[in-house]
Structures are given as structure tokens and as C-alpha cells.
Amino acid sequence: MKRFFHYDAERRKAHFSISRHPAYNEEERIANILQEIGGYLQKKEYTYEIIVADDGSQDSTVELVSGISRNNGNIRVLRNYVNRGRG
């Protein structure tokens, strides 16, 4: 998991990004993971985004994350249609 933190001094706002690399066939875990991370970040005073990079999942990982992202605009999914592994 990669984390990026940016502070905009002009607006006096901070932005935090989390990118989960790679997500492969995570349908049984991904909803709980996103709920836990999102719940924590919603309590903070900065904006955030969570980016799920799907790596060619054969299960419903992408559909689950897409459904969650419709209710939470801070979550996005990027999809590779072919599994590329960690490299």
C-alpha cells in the first residue's frame, strides 16, 4: 500500500491518497478493507482518496469497488484487464 500526503499551504488544506497495489481477486476482503480505511479517514480534517488498482481479477472485485465508489466519491478503481503481477 502506498501513501501520499500533500499540504496545500494556500488553501490550508491537506490531501491524503492511498493506493492499494495490486488488488487481485479480493472480493472477499476488499469491502471490509475499504470500510475500515474510509471510516478512519472520514474522521480526519483533510481530504482523501483511495485508489484500488485491480490487476486483472477474475472475480467481482471491480464490481464491488465500483459499487462502493458510487456511494463514496473518495474511492476510485483503476482496472487492468490482464493480470500483470507485482512487477
Please write the tens of the pLDDT for every residue from 1-57. 555 555 565 655 677 787 766 899 999 999 999 999 989 988 988 888 899 999 999
Instruction: Say how many CA atoms lie within 13 Å of 6 toward its Cβ.
Output: 10
Q: Provide the pLDDT confidence category of residue 70 given band limits of 50, 70 and 90.
A: very high
What is residue 47's predicted lDDT score, i.e. its pLDDT?
Answer: 85
CATH 3.40.640.10 describes domain 2-80: no
What is residue 20's predicted lDDT score, i.e. its pLDDT?
Answer: 61
What is residue 1's predicted lDDT score, i.e. its pLDDT?
Answer: 53
DSSP 74: T
Task: Identify whether the C-beta of residue 56 lies closer than 8 Å to the C-beta of residue 26.
Answer: no
The pTM for the full model equals 0.76
Backbone angles phi, psi at 64, to 5 degrees: -65, -50
Residues with Cβ within 8 Å of 63's Cβ and at least 6 positions away in sequence, in order, are none
